[in-house]
Structure 1
Amino acid sequence: MKRQTLLGLMILCFFCGKAQSHYPGQHKGKFAIADQLKPAVYAFDLQDVRLLDSRFKENMEREQKWLQSIEPYRLLHSFRTNAGVYAGNEGGYHVVNKLGGWESLDCEVRGHSAGHILSGLALMYASTGDGQYKIKGDSLVRGLSEVQIALNQDGYLSAFPQELINRNMRGQRVWAPWYTLHKILSGLIDQYLYCENKQALDVASRMGSWAYQKLKPVTPKQRTIMLRNEFGGINESFYNLYAITGNKEYQWLAEFFYHNEMLDPLKEEKDILEKKHANTYIPKLLGLTRDYELEGKGDGHKVADFFWQTVIDHHSFATGSNSDQEKFFKPDHQSEHLTGYTGESCNVYNMLKLTRHLFTHTAESKYADYYEKALYNHILGQQDPATGMIAYFLPMLPGAHKVYSTPEHSFWCCVGSGFENQAKYGEAIYYHDQDGLYVNLFIPSELTWKEKGMKVRLESSFPEEGTTLLTIEAAPGVPAALHIRYPSWAVAGASVTVNGKKIPVKGKPGSYISINRKWNKGDRVAVHFPMTLRSIPANDNPGTVAFAYGPIVLAGVMGTEGMTIPAPYSNPELYNDYYTYNYNVPQGISNVLDIDVEKPDASIKPVAGEKLTFKTAKEGVLLKPLYDIHRERYVVYWNINPGSSKDKVKHQ
C-alpha cells in the first residue's frame, strides 16, 4: 500500500427466513434489508466449520498467539491521544509501550490495525467458539465507544483528527483516511455480526451518520477529486450497514463512493489496469458487487467478472498473486516484472473476497480453482512458521526471499489483512444450495449443516497426496447431492468410491463430480485426483517458466548466502523500506534450467522419502512448494534457454 492500499469484505453467505445476505454468517435476523439476488449457492457460517489438524490449523494457532499478545490499551493509545483523553495503561499509570510502523503516532493511517484486529477477533471467535476472542473484542469496542463520545464530533471516530479528512476533500496530499476509516467500520460490523456486540453496531451507525453529514454538501467536482485518493472498500461497508439497519443515509454513502473513473471503463470491457494501484482498485469491485446483490439487477456481476477474469488471465503470476510495486503492469508482461516487490498480500486477500462473491452468484468452478491456487501458493505461505509474522510481498525476483513483519514495529496493511486471512480458512471449503453440498477445497475439517441435520468429516493429506475421504457422521434422512470439485489441474483423471465401491466419474476437469443418493450415517466417499507436474509459461515469454505439481507452485531452494536477516525477525527499518530492501542476491545463483517444458516429469524427479520434494536431473536443483520455503532464497520463474547469456539473474 505505498501511500495507498487495500480494503475489504468478508463474504460468508447465509440463508434464513427473515432476510438473506451475501455478507458473513452467524447473523440470522440481523439484516433489515434482504438481498434481492438469489445466489446459486450459499456459504456456511464460520461457526459451522471446524478445522482439523493441518498446516492451515497450525497457521491459525500461530495467529491466535499474536492476536492475544497485543493489549487493547496499546491499540487504543492513538485513538485516546487523538481524543485528548488518558491514554496510559488501563491497569495503572505506566507509560504505554507504543506500537510502531504504520501504527506510529506520526503515521497517517494509524488506527487501521485496530479495525483489522476487531475483524480478526470476530472471525477467530466464529472459527473456534473460544470466548477469549469475544472478550477481547468487547474490550476494544468499549474503548472505541468511549473515544467516540470524548471526541464529541457527531459520531466521528479515528486515531487521527478530521483535518486529514478535510485535506482529502480539498484534494490535498494525504494518505488514505477513508481507507483507514473503512477498516474500523468493517471491524465494528464484524463484531456485531459475529459476536452479538450491539455496542459495536451503535458505534458504527454513529460513524455512518457523521459521514453522511460530512459528505452531503460535497459538490460533484469535489467528489471527483477526493475519490482519486484510496478509500478501500468503504462503499461495501456502507452497503452492509444499510442492509443491517435499513437507514437510507448509508446507502447514499455507499453510492457516493462509486468511482466512475475506474469502474465505468470496465462496463465497456476495457482493460485500463496498467499502472493503476492494484489494491486501490480491487475493493471498488467489492462495493459494486454488494450493490448488485442487494438490488438483484443491473450489470454488477458482469462488470466484476470482467475485471476478475482480466486480472487472472493477464495481470497475475503462476501463484495467483498480481502487481509489481503494488501496481498492475501492462497486460501479459509477467516476465518483465520479476522483481522483489511483486504480489502484494492485500491484493490476494481482496481478490479472494471478490472470488467468493462471484462464486455464490454462479457456482462456476473456475472461481474455486482460483481460490485454491491463491490460497495455497500465496496466503498459506504468507506467514512465517517460525514466528507467525507476515510477508508484505511475494517476491518473484530470482534469488530473493520473503521479508517478514515484526510483532510490534511494522503493522503494514498486509499485516492487518493477515490478521483476517489466518482466522478464516474455513470460509471457502463448503457451500450449499437448497438440496446439495459443495466441497470446493480439500482442507481437513468438519462441517455441521444444521438446517439439513447433516455432519461431514473431511480427512486428507492434500496436497501431499491426492486422496480425500469424506465421512457422513450425521445423515439428513432424505436424498441429497454431494458435489465435489473436479479441479482444472486434474488432467490425469479422477476416481471415486462410495463405501468402497467404485462409481463412474462423469464430467471433466473444471467441473463438479455429483453424487445423488440418500445418505446414511457412516457412509464414506473417497475421491482421488492424481497430481502431475506441469509447466506454467509467462504470457509474454514461453521461455520463462514456472512449475507446479497439481495446484502447488514449486520453487527452487537457493540457500541463505548473503542474507542479513536479524534473528528472529527480518523487517525493514522504515515504514516503506521494503521498496529499498536489498536482497543481496549472490552472483552465483542461476535461474536457468535445461528442461523440456512439454514433458517436465522427464527432467524433474521426486525425491525418495520426501513429500512434495523434487530435484532437477541435470542441475540438481531442489524444488519444494513455495509456501514451504521460509528464510531461504528461492526461484519461481526459470529461464529455459540452455547456454543463454542470461544464465545469471538480474540483481536488485
Structure 2
Amino acid sequence: MGDLQRCNDPATVPMHGARAFPQGAITLTGGPLLAALERSVETVLAHDADRLLAPYRREAGLPATAEPYGDWESRGLDGHIGGHYLSALSHLYAATRREDIHARLRAMLDGLRECQDAVGTGYLGGTPRGVELGEELRAGRIEAEPFALNGRWVPMYNLHKVLNGLVDAYEVAGQDDALGMAVAWADWWMAISAGLDDAQIETILTAEFGGMNDAFFRLAALTGREDLVAEGRRWSHHLLLDPLLAGEDRLTGLHANTQVPKAVGYARSGADDLTRAAHQFWDEVVHDRTVSIGGHGVREHFHPADDFRAMVLEALGPESCNTFGMLQLTDLFRQESDDLELVDFAERAILNHALTAQHPGHGGFVYFSPLRPAHYRVYSSHGESMWCCVGSGLESHCRYDRFLFSRDGDSPRVEIYEPAVLDWDGIRIEVRADLKASWRVEIDVTAEAPHDRIVRLRIPDWSEGADLSVDGEAIEAAAGVGEVALERRWEGTTRIVLDLRPSLALEGLPDGSPWASFRYGPYVLAHRDGDDALEGMIATGKDAPHVAIGPRHRMIGTPALIGDEIDVAAWGATATVTAWRLDGDAPAQVELYLEPYNGIHDERCTVYLPLGESADEVREMLAELDRDEQEDADVVDVVAPGEQQSEMDHGYVSHLSRIEWINARSWRMAEDWFAYTLKPKAAGPHLVRIRSLVGLPAGGDDAVVRLGGAVVEPVSSVVRNVPLYGDVVEAVYEVSVASEGIEVRFEAGPGGATAGIAGVALMTPSAA
C-alpha cells in the first residue's frame, strides 16, 4: 500500500502479541469451540452482503441494489451490523481459509470501497445523515447525551464498527486494500478533529462511541502515525479514565457496554497510565461485579457493587456484548502477563456465558442471560434480529482458540483443555479432552527433531491438584500449584495423561447476599424448570423484542438451601442437591438435579439458589421480593427512562433532553420535550402510570403531559417511596389505546423544564 507500512518500533506504538502464536498455529479439532466456529460460518453465510451494504449505498448517494435489513438496521443504527460482519468474515477467513468466506469478504470490501469513493472525502458509513454529521461537528455543533449525538442514535459507535472491520480485514485477513480504506476514513475524521478542542471532543464522547480509541491505537500501530496515537488518547474519555487512574470505583449507574470498549482501548495503547486504568477497570469488574457465569450488569448497566438484588430479580441479566468485550480485554493482558487469574476468568466466561449466547442448533444469538430463577433466554432470528449482540456474536464465536495456549519465549503452555492442536516452532501439541464426559486429558507432544524445551500445563484453580504421567512415569501435581513445568528433551511423540480432580464449589454473589450457585470444575451448574410459556423465545417478526417477555415465576417457588450443612453429591459434570420448597404450608424437601448451565437451552432454568439458616428466614425474604413485584402485575409495557434499549425500543424522540442518575438509577428530563410510544397487548381502555422525582426537578408550571397528542390530567396522584429513587410522584391517567400504541410526550413550558421522569408504564385497568 505505498508508504503505508507496519510500524515495528515499539517506542513509537507498542505492539501486542508477545505471548501469542502466529496465525494458523492453533487448530480446533472438536468440542464446543469447534462447533461454535462451524455455526458461525453457517450464520455468516446466511446473511446477505448486498442487504448489509444497502445503508452504505444510500448514504453514499448510490442506487439501491437490495433492500436493507430491518430492526436496528433500519431504526437508526443502519450499517452497524455491516461493520461487525466485516470483522466476522475476516476472523472466519483467518480461521478456516474457506474460499466462500473469502469471496464474501471481498464482496463486502469492494462494495464498501464503491461507497467510500462515491462520497469522495474518505467518509464511509451507513449512519443516517452521516456525511452531514461530520459537517455539523466540523462547525462545532455538538448536542450529545449518552445514547444520541446530534439527534442520531450513537453514530460514532456505529461508525466504529466499520473502521474496526477494515482494520480487521487488513490485520487479520490480509486484505491490503482495507488498510488504505481505513486510513482514508481516519484522514476524513482527523480533518474534522483538528478544528475541535479537547473540551468539544469530550462532549462528543458523552454519546456511546464503542472502541473508537482502540481503533485509532490499532491503526497507529499499523501505520506508525503519531497523530493517530494522539487521537486515540483524545478519545479515551475522562468520565471513565480519571476515576480509574485515581483508583476509585465509579462504575455504578454507567452503561456497561459503553465502558468495556474504552478499557480495551486503554489496554491497547501501551501507555503506562492508560494501561494502569485498564487493569483497574478489569479488577473492578471481575472481582466486584462479575457473577458465576462470567458476565456482569443488569439492564445493560452496572448496578451497585453492594446490592445484587437486581441480578436475581430482573429478566435483563448479563449482556453478551459485555462478556465478549471483557474477553478481548483479558486477551490483551494475557499477551503481556502469565498471570493465571486471567486464564481462570477467560475459561469461566467462555464456557459459562459466551458459548451459551449462541444456540447450539439454529445458531441464534442471546442478548440478555437472565439469572432470575426459573426464567429463560431469547434467541435472535437470522436476518430479522439486528441487535448489537447479534453483531458481536457474528464476530466473536470464531476466536476462542486464542485462549487455549500461550507461550513464554519458546516455552508453550496449555491453558484451557479443549480439543485442539498447536503446531509451532518444530513442536506439535495435540490436546484431546471432553471434560463433561471425563476429567482425563490426553496430550501428545511431537517434536520434529530432538530438542530441549519446557512445556507447561495449567492446573486449574477448580482442580484439587491432578494425577499426571509422562509416557507412564508419574509426576506429582499438588493442589494449588497453578501449573506443572515439564522440562525435558522432547523426541518423537510423548504421551501426557492428566487426570484432573475437580471440586464442587458453592459460589456466592459478590455482595455477600444470601444467594449462591454451584460450580463443578469449570462448569456453573443449573437445574431445569420446564418449558412453559416461553413467549418470544425466538425473536421473529417486526421489531421482535430481545427480552424474555413470558411470565415470571414467583420468587417464593424457588428451591432454597437451608442450614449450615448442604447435602450434595457430584459425579461426571453433574450433581444432585437437597433443597426445600417454601411455597406450601410447611417446607417440602426436593432433590434437584444440577447440570452444566451451558447445555440448557429452550427451557427455563435456575442458576442461583437462595440460602439461609432457617426456612422461615428464607421464606420471608422471597415473599418480600414477591410483594415488591406484585404492584407491576398489571403492567403490559414499560419504559425505563435513560436506559438505551428500553428507550429505543419505545420510539424515543426528543429535543434538548438529557439523562441524569440517582442511586445508580437513571431518569430523564428536558428543557423542551421528549416522547415514547407504548404498545398494549390488545386495544382498549388502559392506564398510564408516570413516576416523576420529587423536586429533581419539579417541572415548570406550564409543563404538560400529552397522551396521544392531547394534554391530560391524572385521575390520581400520590407521593410514595420507590427503592433507589426515593420519593416520587406517581400519577395515573386513563386512556384508550389503539393496537399500534400510544405516544406519551413530556413538554416543558417556555423557559422551563419537564419533571424528572423515572418511569412510564402502560397498565390494564384492573390495576386501578
TM-score interval, normalised by the smaller of the two chains: 0.7 to 0.9
TM-score normalised by structure 1 residue count: 0.87
Aligned to 2:568, which of 603, 615, 635? 603
| Letter aligned with residue 305 of structure 1 | H
Instruction: Give 3-state SS (helix, strand or coil) of 2:462's partner.
Output: coil
Deviates more, 1:498-507 or 1:233-242: 498-507
Aligned to 1:42, which of 11, 16, 19? 19
Mapped contact 1:127–1:426 kept (Cα < 8 A):
no
Aligned-pair CA distance for 1:43: 1.1
Encode CA deviations 1:433-489: one digit per residue, 9 max, x unaligned.
21200111111011111xx21111110012442221110133453211111112112
- Which residue number corresponds to residue 122 of structure 1? 90
Q: What is the distance in 1 between the residues matched to 2:477 and 2:554?
A: 51
Instruction: Mark the runs of 5 or more structure 2 residues left unpaired by the alignment.
Output: 145-149, 579-588, 633-768
Q: What is the distance in 1 between the residues matched to 2:374 and 2:95?
A: 37
Q: What is the distance in 2 between the residues matched to 1:326 and 1:542?
A: 21
Aligned to 1:311, which of 270, 285, 292? 285
Q: What is the distance in 1 between the residues matched to 2:378 and 2:200?
A: 39
Instruction: Give 3-state SS (helix, strand or coil) of 1:630's partner.
Output: coil
Q: What is the distance in 2 between the residues matched to 1:125 and 1:38?
A: 23
List aligned pairs for 1:260-275, cutoff 5 A: 260-275=238-253
- Which residue number corresponds to residue 744 of structure 2? none
- Which residue number corresponds to residue 452 of structure 2? 479
Encode CA deviations 1:228-271: one digit per residue, 9 max, x unaligned.
11111111111111111123332232122021121011111100
Aligned-pair CA distance for 1:164: 4.1
Aligned-pair CA distance for 1:379: 0.6
List aligned pairs for 1:406-485, cutoff 5 A: 406-449=381-424, 452-475=425-448, 477-485=450-458
Instruction: Give 3-state SS (helix, strand or coil) of 1:632's partner.
Output: coil
Aligned-pair CA distance for 1:46: 4.2
- Which residue number corresponds to residue 538 of structure 1? 509
- Which residue number corresponds to residue 175 of structure 1? 153
- Which residue number corresponds to residue 344 of structure 2? 369
Mapped contact 1:49–1:446 kept (Cα < 8 A):
yes
Aligned to 1:251, which of 217, 229, 234? 229
Mapped contact 1:335–1:540 kept (Cα < 8 A):
no
Inter-CA distance 281–615: structure 2 relative to 1 (3 Å threshold)? same
The percent of aligned pairs where both chains have the same amino acid is 26
Inter-CA distance 416–35: structure 2 relative to 1 (3 Å threshold)? farther
Q: What is the distance in 1 between the residues matched to 2:296 and 2:133?
A: 30
Q: What is the distance in 2 between the residues matched to 1:604 and 1:542?
A: 24
- Which residue number corresponds to residue 101 of structure 1? 71
Q: What is the distance in 2 between the residues matched to 1:248 and 1:336?
A: 45
List aligned pairs for 1:257-296, cutoff 5 A: 257-292=235-270
Q: What is the distance in 1 between the residues matched to 2:196 and 2:47?
A: 39
- Which residue number corresponds to residue 586 of structure 2? none
Aligned-pair CA distance for 1:173: 4.2
Mapped contact 2:373–2:555 kept (Cα < 8 A):
no
Instruction: Give 3-state SS (helix, strand or coil) of 2:153's partner.
Output: coil
Mapped contact 1:399–1:633 kept (Cα < 8 A):
yes
Instruction: Give 3-state SS (helix, strand or coil) of 2:594's partner.
Output: strand
- Which residue number corresponds to residue 574 of structure 1? 543
Q: What is the distance in 2 between the residues matched to 1:596 and 1:534?
A: 16
| Letter aligned with residue 202 of structure 1 | G
Q: What is the distance in 2 between the residues matched to 1:414 and 1:39?
A: 26
Report which of the two has the higher share of strand. Answer: 2
- Which residue number corresponds to residue 185 of structure 2? 207
- Which residue number corresponds to residue 17 of structure 1? none
- Which residue number corresponds to residue 391 of structure 1? 366
List aligned pairs for 1:467-616, cutoff 5 A: 467-475=440-448, 477-490=450-463, 492-505=464-477, 508-509=480-481, 511-565=482-536, 569-571=538-540, 574=543, 577-578=545-546, 581-587=548-554, 590-594=557-561, 600=566, 602-606=567-571, 612-616=573-577
Instruction: Give 3-state SS (helix, strand or coil) of 1:333's partner.
Output: coil
Aligned-pair CA distance for 1:41: 4.9
Mapped contact 1:39–1:362 kept (Cα < 8 A):
no
- Which residue number corresponds to residue 638 of structure 1? 609
Mapped contact 1:495–1:528 kept (Cα < 8 A):
yes
Encode CA deviations 1:112-162: one digit per residue, 9 max, x unaligned.
111111111111111122222122111100000000011223444444322
Inter-CA distance 425–84: structure 2 relative to 1 (3 Å threshold)? same
Q: What is the distance in 2 between the residues matched to 1:46 and 1:385?
A: 27
Q: What is the distance in 2 between the residues matched to 1:70 and 1:243?
A: 32
Mapped contact 2:33–2:401 kept (Cα < 8 A):
no
Aligned-pair CA distance for 1:626: 1.1
Instruction: Give 3-state SS (helix, strand or coil) of 1:358's partner.
Output: helix
1:343 paired with 2:318, answer yes
Aligned-pair CA distance for 1:571: 4.9
| Letter aligned with residue 312 of structure 1 | V
- Which residue number corresponds to residue 92 of structure 1? none
- Which residue number corresponds to residue 67 of structure 1? 44
- Which residue number corresponds to residue 638 of structure 2? none
1:327 paired with 2:298, answer no
Q: What is the distance in 1 between the residues matched to 2:224 and 2:279?
A: 28
Aligned to 1:186, which of 144, 159, 164? 164
Deviates more, 1:35-44 or 1:221-230: 35-44
Instruction: Give 3-state SS (helix, strand or coil) of 2:590's partner.
Output: coil
| Letter aligned with residue 559 of structure 2 | V
Instruction: Give 3-state SS (helix, strand or coil) of 1:560's partner.
Output: coil
Mapped contact 2:468–2:498 kept (Cα < 8 A):
yes
Inter-CA distance 501–631: structure 2 relative to 1 (3 Å threshold)? same
Encode CA deviations 1:596-615: one digit per residue, 9 max, x unaligned.
66x64x33454xxxx53333
- Specify which structure has the bigger relative contact order, considering alpha-carbon pairs within 8 angstroms and separated by 6 or more residues: 1
| Letter aligned with residue 101 of structure 1 | D
Q: What is the distance in 1 between the residues matched to 2:550 and 2:308?
A: 20
1:56 paired with 2:26, answer no
Encode CA deviations 1:358-410: one digit per residue, 9 max, x unaligned.
12222100000000000001011111122100000111111110111110121
What's the RMSD between the two structures over aligned residues? 2.3
Inter-CA distance 131–380: structure 2 relative to 1 (3 Å threshold)? same
1:353 paired with 2:328, answer yes
Mapped contact 2:19–2:407 kept (Cα < 8 A):
yes
Instruction: Give 3-state SS (helix, strand or coil) of 1:363's partner.
Output: coil
Aligned-pair CA distance for 1:224: 2.0
Encode CA deviations 1:22-72: one digit per residue, 9 max, x unaligned.
xxxxxxx96224434697951123421111121221122111111112121
Instruction: Give 3-state SS (helix, strand or coil) of 1:35's partner.
Output: coil
Report which of the two has the higher share of helix. Answer: 1
Aligned-pair CA distance for 1:594: 3.2
Deviates more, 1:635-644 or 1:546-555: 635-644
Q: What is the distance in 1 between the residues matched to 2:16 and 2:200?
A: 37
Mapped contact 2:298–2:318 kept (Cα < 8 A):
yes
Mapped contact 1:53–1:444 kept (Cα < 8 A):
yes
| Structure with larger Rg | 2
Encode CA deviations 1:528-571: one digit per residue, 9 max, x unaligned.
221121101123345211111112111120001222247xx345
Encode CA deviations 1:80-121: one digit per residue, 9 max, x unaligned.
111121221xxxxxxx343121112xx222111111111111
1:152 paired with 2:113, answer no
Mapped contact 1:62–1:388 kept (Cα < 8 A):
yes
